[in-house]
A = this chain, B = another copy of it.
């Protein structure tokens, strides 16, 4: 078996074109010394006045967004050669990446994310007098970001993790994903140019490229690194989490590790709009060749003739679709193993197929559906593992009570979806309660793929969906991962940050207790 990337003897590696299996480009493997230097520079940048300046960081994010758009054609063309995701999808992803940077720029400038609190002193307070206490969030320090293979732009070098960490005021060291080093290099050049143009220290950003796991492991061990953001497999995310927890000074790992995203169709919804749901599912399961962490991988359908008809139609439609390019040989091999497991434990619907054989030079797979039942799932929980690619499992259930007993066994999920009819609300409510306990986001009468970047987005969930259920990796709250609170007690105004001054000179939201005692700026 070939490695996912080709490594030469002299410390170089290449990307592989998924459509042809040929090597493209040559990139230098980062050394242990590169890791050490990047961490030292990040630590120095961490204490700099320039990086502490919110306006300057806001400008940086805005400049990066503009520069990415300017180089859109070049970046998308390189990313398409390295990932086979297609130009339309990659153009959309670049625009999303730029919008994300701009939105973080806006919230940094606004400053409300600092959660400034001012507790005024009260010498009469019981049981003890109360001091003047002011609190706001401060950056935690250098952040290691691991690029994801399936989002070469939006979850890679200048993606959401980098944008939110820089927004928070933390220097970033990206470990680029080895399946798209050319894209990483172009984006990093753009970012480094913006860092320099905005007068920020060099150490504010670095890219480390490597085809081996050692560079990432070294990075997580660096004492200067204060947090890790990761998007990828459960195996890799868990390994980083354990490594970071074993450090002499443990650090948080925000690993988003995917899930099967249970998708429930009620009897009413199946009867009223089964065909429409099937169409929606096909595009949600096959979009980006099913290589999305919110792909609905496990679809629950009520037992009976119409459920069976739905399964048959969905299986045929998927099976009739064209084969799809996969990101890499590694993902193709993972999908091969996963579909072999499903073939053994469930019934394939339509003609059984498997991703192309190991000897094939290109990496692709035929969309496919497997059939099982809720009862069988309870016996063989491995059926509910994430299968990364254009594949879904359809599970027949007898009644909603059975679902309520089955779903908690799935473990933590990024999303859970319910399609139902208004008249079923009372019957559906217990199911929604069960799903609320395992998922980070509940989707109603829609599809979990297509994660919008807004304030209320939650992309994360109980383990194993993520290692930190209290956080999100998409949406404006993603910045919270890189902040910690700091309190100032009885500080003279001249030693307080302006965000905590009574006069509120920088006009951010301040929460005052008791209210009304100092002037408060209102939006």
Interface stretch of the complex, out of A29-37, A179-187, A432-440: A432-440
A99 touches B119 (CB 8 A): no
Q: Does A96 contact B (CB under 8 A)?
A: yes
A487 with B441: CB separation less than 8 A: yes
Interface positions, chain A 463-502, Cβ under 8 Å from B, are 463-464, 467-470, 472, 477, 480, 483-492, 494-495
Query: Which of B96, B441, B491 contacts A489 (CB under 8 A)?
Result: B441
The listed residue (B428, B450, B454) touching A513 by CB distance below 8 A is B454
Q: Give the interface segment out of A132-140, A210-218, A380-388.
A: A132-140
Residues of B within 8 Å of A442, CB to CB, are 486-489, 491
Contact B429 A495 (CB under 8 A): yes
Asked if B95 contacts A490 (CB within 8 A), the reply is no
User: Within the complex, what minimum Cβ distance (angstroms) separates A225 from chain B?
Assistant: 13
Distance between Cα atoms of A428 and B496 in the complex (Å): 12
| Contact indicator B492/A96 (Cβ below 8 Å) | no
Tell me how far the C-beta of A438 lies from the nearest C-beta in chain B, rounded to whole angstroms.
10
Q: Is the CB of A127 within 8 A of B92?
A: yes
Residue with the greatest number of chain B CB neighbours at <10 A, chosen from A443, A460, A469, A483: A469
CA distance A490 to B452 in the complex (A): 12
- Contact A130:B425 (CB < 8 A) given known A442-B486, A485-B477, A486-B458: no
Contacts of A118 in B (CB 8 A): 456
B450 & A492 in contact (Cβ 8 Å cutoff): no
- A127–B92 Cα gap in the complex (Å)? 6
Instruction: Kindly provide the distance from the CB of A273 to the nearest chain B CB, expressed in whole angstroms.
Output: 15
A252 partner residues in chain B, CB cutoff 8 A: 468, 470
Q: Verify A492–B249 contact, CB threshold 8 A.
A: no
Number of interface residues of A (CB under 8 A): 80
Smallest CB-CB separation from A52: which chain B residue?
B433
Name, among A133, A469, A484, A487, the residue most crowded by chain B CB atoms within 10 Å (CB to CB): A487
By the criterion CB–CB under 8 Å, are A119 and B492 in contact?
no
A483 — which chain B residues lie within 8 A by C-beta?
470
Name the one of B92, B429, B439, B495 contacting A432, with C-beta atoms under 8 angstroms: B495
Q: Is the CB of A128 within 8 A of B450?
A: yes
> Could you tell me if B463 and A249 are in contact, using CB atoms closer than 8 angstroms?
yes
Query: CA separation between A484 and B131, bound complex, in Å?
Result: 31
Nearest CB in chain B to that of A522: its residue: B522
Q: What string of 1s and 0s marks CB contacts (under 8 Å) between A284-323 and chain B?
A: 0000000000000000000000000000000000000000
Q: A452: shortest Cβ distance to chain B, in Å?
A: 5
Contacts of A467 in B (CB 8 A): 250
A280 beta carbon closer than 8 Å to chain B: no
List chain B residues, Cβ under 8 A from A403.
none
Please name 15 pairs of A and B residues whose Cβ atoms are closer than 8 Å in the assembled complex, sorted by A.
A92-B127, A92-B128, A119-B454, A135-B457, A242-B246, A249-B463, A252-B470, A422-B492, A442-B491, A443-B490, A444-B489, A454-B513, A456-B487, A460-B485, A470-B480
